[in-house]
Chain A
Amino acid sequence: MEIDRTPPNAATSDSNSTCGEFMDAEGEPEQEERSELSAGDLYQEAELGAEEAEQQRHSIISELRDELSTRPRHPRTALSPDGDGPSAAAGQSKDLAASVESLALSTSTSTKTEDSGSSNALDEEAYDYQHDSVWRGQKKHIFILSEAGKPIYSLHGNEDKLATLFGVIQALVSFVQLGQDAITSIHAGAVKFAFMQRNSLILVAASRTNMSIQQLQLQLSDVYYQILSTLTYSHMSKIFEKRKNFDLRRLLSGSERLIYNLLANDSSNARVSNNIFTFLTNSIRVFPLPTTVRSTIVSTIQSNCSKIKKLVFAVLIANNKLIALVRMKNYSIHPADLRLIFNLIECSESFKNSENWTPICLPKFDMNGYLHAHVSYLADDCPACLLLMSVDRDAFHILSEAKQRITDKLRRSLCLQSINDELQQPYNAKLHQQVVNIPDLRHFLYKPKATAQLLCPMLRHPYKSLTEFGRLEAIYCSMLHRIHNHSRPLKLIYELKEREVVLAWVTATYELYAVFESIVDKATVIKNVDKLIKWIEKEYDVFFIRNHATF
């Protein structure tokens, strides 16, 4: 068992060159701390010379291939699970690992006795999950608990019945805290545990997937923001200040579906969808529209909202993609906040039937207060959802009237029709055409550096099946992790895998991750990437929004 801790001083992390590889994979401890400031930092662009990247543009592939061949392909799985890997070099971690193991032993004996002595029906129920093969076999678990060790949420299973497990988690966290330290991850064989402590909450991910610790932590921070979005930071802090033993479930009841939907977005929960990639790249997706249509929509929102005071954001979305965003001057919206909005809309069928007035906290905007959102779909015959978000809690009627005017105007200018046309296609025709024209290209992710927006094509054969999609997800997880590695960021990866050829390429203006048929050669890949990039640059304004207008 290997344990990653934030060492008391940085010297421990760079003293040993043999464990550099593995330490790198987990990121510098200082970086871990930085991630507490902003989840966005996790994917902050590598600060390497942009010109350099350009220079290497043509020769870099061969170089990278050399590097790839000298590097272990799966550094993580190469670790021996019993801890005599490089991590054991740090004596301190070894001690810790030993005591953690003994702690684990102590709890496992307790579960054993409970197993054999199940005379009490209630007890049997209480330990159901931990002996349940389905529960144990889940690829990903997420646990949220209070600092006191009280369960708040478990992705799988009733958290009440898992109270014992939550106790163990709290004990682990508390034990490491005792040494003025913080536990960030545990690697036990193929299972990774990522820990995050925020504002009286402990969040833990246990995963058998290919997600790296940083990626798991990004997911934990997304859930943390989801909880803040319901409660606000100040309210939650006040509660735990007054009562450390508070059972937060009392305040979160009803919002479990939001947490679930946010977490169950990947193949480990049998979801085959591009949504996971927006999370992995810390971005959002844009609804493709002809530029004239989008600018008409934006100007319609502007002209109908510009006189409304205290209106901060107007967001129009459809099918989990952003159609338009208009903002108050000097304010912007973070992709993590937008993902919370997407999540709310995706989970709330009831919004379709009426106008709604709901408080929502956007933690990256202001974690201590609520924005008041007028939420409604444009029309019965147009399933695009408009959110008008104000700081004024009495603005419902003004916003309701504005929304009506916007819908009327968009109908007259045939924008509703344009949105519907796009929605009725199974996928964007232009994008599909382009991907079909590059037959060897199976899938790609394209993210411009200037915006946190992601372009990816519809999932096609073979990635429509769950297992194949799971592999695609794993490929992207690994590429993203290596490209964004804090201590050793890469600019280009070209890898021949068993069943595909994969490429990751970071330039001064974009990041591209592409997956090709396994039979293509390097020259074809380069040719195809060139073709794709040129096409995206030409069609840029259909698939991306360069600047968000202001009221």
Chain B
Amino acid sequence: MANRKKSLLKVIILGDSSVGKTSLMNQYVNKRFSNQYKATIGADFCTKEVVVNDRVVTMQIWDTAGQERFQSLGVAFYRGADCCVLVYDVTAPNSFKNLDSWRDEFLIQASPRDPEHFPFVVLGNKVDLDNRQVSTRRAQQWCQSKNDIPYYETSAKEGINVEMAFQTIAKNALEQETEAELINDFPDQIRLNSDNNRPGNADNCQC
């Protein structure tokens, strides 16, 4: 069971620019927050080890650029994600509206096997601010309509709910992992005289 110990999850954080993606990651990984805004160029990466159901899991967190002009990493970037975190700013209604397109974009680019059940998590960030514009109910309704995506309201600044949200992310992603077992598939027997092992394709190379 030694190999069961090693588990790594690729987690992608998406959302409009300046909703707090990088801040959430920094708060979660480093327990730090800075009020200064610095746009992410391309992508940023962090790693964090968590324990889920007695298993040590390494989370490889891919923080992406929200600004369109810095989104230049290509389709391959989303490929093989285990979980996708959608972030919006509760004080910015547009960032909430755009969740739909972020989700669609992800599903198109990553094309997971079972898009209906792909683990997303939605985070409504900046709840520490006074000028809230998107109500909890509205956000919850949207999440329910998308196959019950778990929803958390967070503050990267004050560390509210951040730990818990990421714990859920790890747990949901792990549940997906255990589902199919492809391991005990033994390849076909080699058939001699088949085309692919005809000699002579590299005469100068044989010993």
Docked Cα-Cα span, A120 to B163, in Å, equals 13
Interface residues on A, range: 35 or more
Is A458 an interface residue, CB under 8 A from the partner? Answer: no
Contacts of B192 in A (CB 8 A): 310, 312, 328, 331, 391
Is B49 an interface residue, CB under 8 A from the partner? Answer: yes
- Min CB–CB distance A186 → chain B (angstroms): 16
Contacts of B10 in A (CB 8 A): 148-150, 245
A160-B58, A452-B205, A453-B207 are contacts. A150–B80 as well, Cβ < 8 Å?
yes
Chain B, range 171-207, C-beta contacts under 8 Å to A? 177, 180, 182-183, 185, 187-192, 194, 196-199, 201-202, 204-207
User: Closest residue to B9 on the A side, CB-wise?
Assistant: A245
A113-B26, A174-B74, A174-B76 are contacts. A235–B190 as well, Cβ < 8 Å?
no
A107 near B44: Cβ-Cβ < 8 Å: yes
Contacts of A173 in B (CB 8 A): 76
Contacts of B201 in A (CB 8 A): 38
Is A402 an interface residue, CB under 8 A from the partner? Answer: no
Contacts of A244 in B (CB 8 A): 79-80, 110, 112
Is B60 an interface residue, CB under 8 A from the partner? Answer: yes
User: Closest residue to B173 on the A side, CB-wise?
Assistant: A245
A99 near B72: Cβ-Cβ < 8 Å: yes
A106-B41, A175-B74 are contacts. A238–B189 as well, Cβ < 8 Å?
no
Interface locus among B28-36, B88-96, B127-135, B145-153: B28-36
Contacts of B7 in A (CB 8 A): 247
Contacts of B75 in A (CB 8 A): 174, 177-178
Docked Cα-Cα span, A250 to B184, in Å, equals 12
A38-B205, A452-B207 are contacts. A147–B79 as well, Cβ < 8 Å?
yes
Docked Cα-Cα span, A116 to B180, in Å, equals 41
Contacts of A168 in B (CB 8 A): 45
B207 near A451: Cβ-Cβ < 8 Å: yes
Is A54 an interface residue, CB under 8 A from the partner? Answer: no
**Among B3, B7, B182, which residue has the most Cβ atoms of chain A within 10 A?**
B182
**Among B190, B196, B201, which residue has the most Cβ atoms of chain A within 10 A?**
B190
Docked Cα-Cα span, A242 to B82, in Å, equals 13
Docked Cα-Cα span, A107 to B80, in Å, equals 21
Chain B, range 15-66, C-beta contacts under 8 Å to A? 26, 29-32, 38, 40-49, 58, 60, 62
User: Closest residue to A40 on the B side, CB-wise?
Assistant: B205
Chain A, range 105-135, C-beta contacts under 8 Å to B? 105-107, 109-110, 113-114, 117-120, 122-123, 125-127
A173-B76, A249-B6, A330-B199 are contacts. A167–B30 as well, Cβ < 8 Å?
no
- Min CB–CB distance B146 → chain A (angstroms): 20
A325 near B45: Cβ-Cβ < 8 Å: no
Docked Cα-Cα span, A548 to B7, in Å, equals 46
Contacts of B48 in A (CB 8 A): 122-123, 126
A163 near B190: Cβ-Cβ < 8 Å: no
- Min CB–CB distance B3 → chain A (angstroms): 4
- Min CB–CB distance A322 → chain B (angstroms): 7
A174-B75, A243-B180, A245-B10 are contacts. A102–B207 as well, Cβ < 8 Å?
no
Contacts of B60 in A (CB 8 A): 149-150, 163-164, 166-167
B49 near A125: Cβ-Cβ < 8 Å: yes
Flag A317-352 by CB within 8 Å of B: 1 or 0 each.
000001001001011111100100000000000000
Docked Cα-Cα span, A232 to B40, in Å, equals 40
Which single member of B31, B58, B77, B198 contacts A171 (CB below 8 Å)? B77
B73 near A148: Cβ-Cβ < 8 Å: no
Interface residues on B, range: 35 or more
Docked Cα-Cα span, A126 to B46, in Å, equals 9
Interface locus among A363-371, A406-414, A425-433, A510-518: A363-371
User: Closest residue to A322 on the B side, CB-wise?
Assistant: B207
- Min CB–CB distance B65 → chain A (angstroms): 9
- Min CB–CB distance A448 → chain B (angstroms): 11
A123-B48, A322-B207 are contacts. A150–B8 as well, Cβ < 8 Å?
yes
Docked Cα-Cα span, A383 to B179, in Å, equals 46
B77 near A170: Cβ-Cβ < 8 Å: yes
Docked Cα-Cα span, A249 to B183, in Å, equals 11
A107-B45, A150-B10, A282-B205 are contacts. A170–B188 as well, Cβ < 8 Å?
no
Which single member of A103, A122, A166, A545 contacts B42 (CB below 8 Å)? A103
Contacts of A260 in B (CB 8 A): none
Is A207 an interface residue, CB under 8 A from the partner? Answer: no
Is A246 an interface residue, CB under 8 A from the partner? Answer: yes
B205 near A335: Cβ-Cβ < 8 Å: yes
Docked Cα-Cα span, A175 to B73, in Å, equals 4
- Min CB–CB distance B1 → chain A (angstroms): 10
Which single member of A126, A177, A334, A370 contacts B47 (CB below 8 Å)? A126
User: Closest residue to A104 on the B side, CB-wise?
Assistant: B42
Is A68 an interface residue, CB under 8 A from the partner? Answer: no
Contacts of B47 in A (CB 8 A): 126-127, 161, 163-164
Q: Can you give 18 A-B contacts (C-beta < 8 A)?
A: A40-B202, A44-B204, A106-B44, A120-B30, A123-B30, A149-B10, A161-B58, A164-B47, A168-B45, A174-B73, A174-B74, A174-B79, A175-B74, A177-B76, A178-B74, A325-B207, A391-B191, A548-B207
Give the interface of B toward A (CB within 8 A): 2-3, 6-8, 10, 26, 29-32, 38, 40-49, 58, 60, 62, 72-77, 79-82, 110, 112-113, 177, 180, 182-183, 185, 187-192, 194, 196-199, 201-202, 204-207
- Other A-B contacts than A44-B204, A368-B188, 8 sampled, CB-CB below 8 A, are A106-B43, A123-B29, A148-B81, A167-B62, A368-B187, A391-B192, A392-B189, A453-B207
